[in-house]
A and B are shown apart, each in its own frame.
Chain A
Amino acid sequence: MQLHFELISDKIPYILQGILTTLEFTMLSAVFGLIWGIILALFKISNIKILHGFAVFYTSIFRGVPLILSLTLVYFATPQLFHYDITALEAGVITFTLNSAAYISETIRAGITSVDHGQQEAAIALGIPYPKMMRDIILPQALKNILPALVNESIALLKDSALVSTIGATDLLRRADIVASDSYLYFEPLLFVGLLYYVMVMTLTATARILERRLARSD
């Protein structure tokens, strides 16, 4: 097989722009997903039955439904239900936030329970109120314990972000498709974006390593 990357060379800047879309999408989903995931995890460890029940039910829904189905639903149902003309990026960020939070809330809950209960007791004994105790004492230790799992989740998010191309967002994959159908060359653009995804994932992994090492300072 002959590959002709030179034939798509003028399209490369166009494809590269897709990195921004993909990254924007991934980062927004990761940040919002983490925040919502923390809230869900706090619900799960809460003594208040309604909150606990809600969080458990919520997680089971996203576990039980294919992601691409939720994505399509959010994208097509929002305009009808809320009379809001949702963009593909917004629909993607919302769906991925909701979905990712469902999964990592489980991880975060486990992270919180992995922190020695004595930490909580020491904080209580010092008269530190619950919200501050969670935010400054327990969660930092919990998140540190589950950092590798969180990185894996962001990697999954980055790769799953390619799903937004199905609702028309011009991310990396979508741009590769467009170039492919314009130039009748299929392998070259796909291989090229494949490489880009790979490099991004490796960068993320390396950054996480550095972060982990810095956090290990206190060990």
Chain B
Amino acid sequence: MIEVQNLSKSFGKLKVLKDVSLSIKQGEVCAIIGPSGSGKSTLLRCLNLLEQPNQGVIQIKDENITSPKTDIVKIRQNIGMVFQHFYLFPHMTVLENMIYAPMKVKNISKEKAVAKAYDLLKKVGLKEKADVYPSKLSGGQRQRVAIARSLTMEPEIMLFDEPTSALDPEMVKEVLEVIRNLAHTGITMVIVTHEMGFAREVADRICFLDEGKLTENLPPKKFFAKPKTKRAQQFLQKML
């Protein structure tokens, strides 16, 4: 599903990703963890070309997205992304947030888009908030709407960049619950997270990034039992 080969990315002189290779199969849930500044977000953002890699190849469903011939806007419609700070459109109600892209990008009829939106809102437990503006929602509710909004485009891949890091502790659970349910639907997911317990429980694979290098890529059982590198061991000790 996602095939990353020898990916490198620099910002000016700063090398943020160094020769990262990674392969994620359809339906897999991959958790990316690592210290702050290790390049987790950058790696994630390369997958839908919010960042342009300097070197390497990224293939999504056997299509090389870094090739200039690829229609990246089309590819992005198949990749949902959830941000730490939600980024709901503040001038639109929850429902408007959710029907805009299906209607204006996929040309789906309004009735269908609305029906789909309500369906998804029900799944994240926020059906009664459809006509509310995002500013009236709590952080946890906003993030659940943001997840639902991504799902309106029916993506095959979902990217999460620390979806619970900006939330008050009591709201983390409700958002993780939504992501957990999603993981069981067979959608392919890449999740950057600091929630070790959650990663261990939900992920099929743990990728550990250290100063831009992918130093560990193991099933959670093995990784949490004993990571291979010293750096990962130290990181785990601090986190657990």
Contacts and interface: CB of A to CB of B under 8 A. Distances in A.
Nearest to B133: A218
A129 B73 contact: yes
Name, among A116, A122, A137, A144, the residue most crowded by chain B CB atoms within 10 Å (CB to CB).
Answer: A122
A126 B133 contact: no
A107 to B, nearest CB: 19
B91 A218 contact: yes
A119 B90 CA distance: 9
Interface in A112-150: 116, 118-119, 121-129, 132, 136-137, 140-141, 144
Given A118-B85, A118-B87, A137-B89, A125 B133 contact: no
B150 interface: yes
A140 B101 CA distance: 16
A132 B105 contact: yes
A182 interface: no
A140 B83 contact: no
The number of chain A residues touching the other chain, given as a range, is 20 to 34
Given A125-B48, A136-B104, A116 B87 contact: yes
B77 A126 contact: yes
B91 A128 contact: no
Contacts of B73: 127, 129
Contacts of B134: 218
A127 B74 contact: yes
Nearest to A219: B135
Interface string B40-53: 00000000101000
Contacts of B80: 125-126
A63 to B, nearest CB: 32
A123 B146 CA distance: 12
Interface in B64-100: 73-74, 76-77, 79-81, 83, 85, 87-92, 100
A126 B92 CA distance: 15
A126 B135 contact: no
Name, among B50, B87, B149, the residue most crowded by chain A CB atoms within 10 Å (CB to CB).
Answer: B87
Nearest to A118: B87
B68 to A, nearest CB: 16
A129 B101 CA distance: 10
A83 interface: no
B117 interface: no
B83 A127 contact: no
Contact of B149 (A126, A144, A217): A126
B120 interface: no
Contacts of A141: 89-91
Given A141-B91, A218-B91, A126 B105 contact: yes
Contacts of B81: 121-122, 125
Contacts of A219: 90, 133, 135
A219 B85 CA distance: 17
A126 B85 contact: no
A212 to B, nearest CB: 14
B153 A126 contact: yes
Given A125-B48, A129-B73, A119 B87 contact: yes
Contacts of B89: 119, 122-123, 137, 141
A173 B92 CA distance: 44
Name, among A123, A126, A137, A141, the residue most crowded by chain B CB atoms within 10 Å (CB to CB).
Answer: A126
A217 B48 CA distance: 34
Interface string A173-185: 0000000000000
Contacts of A128: 100-101, 104-105
Interface in A137-168: 137, 140-141, 144
A122 B146 CA distance: 9
24 contacts: A118-B83, A118-B87, A119-B87, A121-B50, A121-B81, A121-B87, A122-B88, A124-B76, A125-B79, A125-B80, A125-B81, A126-B77, A126-B80, A126-B101, A126-B153, A127-B77, A127-B153, A129-B73, A129-B105, A218-B92, A218-B133, A218-B134, A218-B135, A219-B90
Given A119-B89, A127-B101, A129-B105, 8 more contacts: A116-B85, A122-B81, A122-B89, A123-B89, A125-B76, A129-B73, A218-B92, A218-B135
Enumerate the 4 nearest inter-chain pairs by beta-carbon distance, A residue then B residue, closest first: A127-B77, A122-B87, A125-B81, A218-B133
